Amino acid sequence: MDKGAEYYARYLNGDDEGLVLIVRDYKDGLILYLNGICRDIHTAEDLCEDTFFRLFTKRPRFSEERSSFKTWLYTIARNIAYDELKRPRADVSTDDLEIPCELLTEEKYIEDERRAAVRRLTGRLLPQQREAVWLVYFDGLSVKEAAKVMKKSENAVSLLLMRAKAALKELLIGEGITGEDL
């Protein structure tokens, strides 16, 4: 159950713990979403901080009648990210970094590798396709909520997702990743 609206109301009423709870519950997903937009984890972390700083300083209005709290928060983050993308910056890639992994069973290892490949290959999609995939499949928003965040119709987001799935399937096959779930 999403308690973001409740936490934000607590914060607006003077309970700073409400903002702490929002950060705790939304930080990780927001960073991953922002990383899908800007394609730099460090920039994504900074943009996530900027999003929470905006809540802290500006205290924007939230209306449960217009959207869910998560949709509203992701829209704020998206706007901040696109403002940042308009500014010139150095392009730094973290693709070559090796992440140590613990001993895994072979089956779990293969599944983890497949998921990592999907996340990596998502970066090759067109920007709007990549954004739709992140919102719906990685962050768990509905197509309707993703459409609000992306400022598109539900049909447009569904079409982006359909094309993204087809492109991802081709990319996975090109990487030699096959399986029943493709």
Query: Which range marks the domain in which residue 25 is found?
Result: 4-86
- The CATH number of the domain holding residue 112 is 1.10.10.10
Domain count, the chain: 2
12 burial type by CB count under 10 A (0-12 exposed, 13-18 middle, 19+ buried): middle
| Residue 179 counted as domain residue | no
Whole-prediction pTM value?
0.60
| Residue 180 counted as domain residue | no
| pLDDT confidence band for 103 (50 / 70 / 90) | very low
The residue assigned the tokens 């492109």 is 167
| Residue 96 counted as domain residue | no
pLDDT tens, 15-42?
A: 989 989 999 999 999 999 998 888 889 9
Residue 96 neighbours by CB distance under 10 Å = 5
pLDDT tens, 86-102?
A: 876 555 555 555 545 44
73 and 39 share one domain: yes
144 and 78 share one domain: no
13 and 77 share one domain: yes
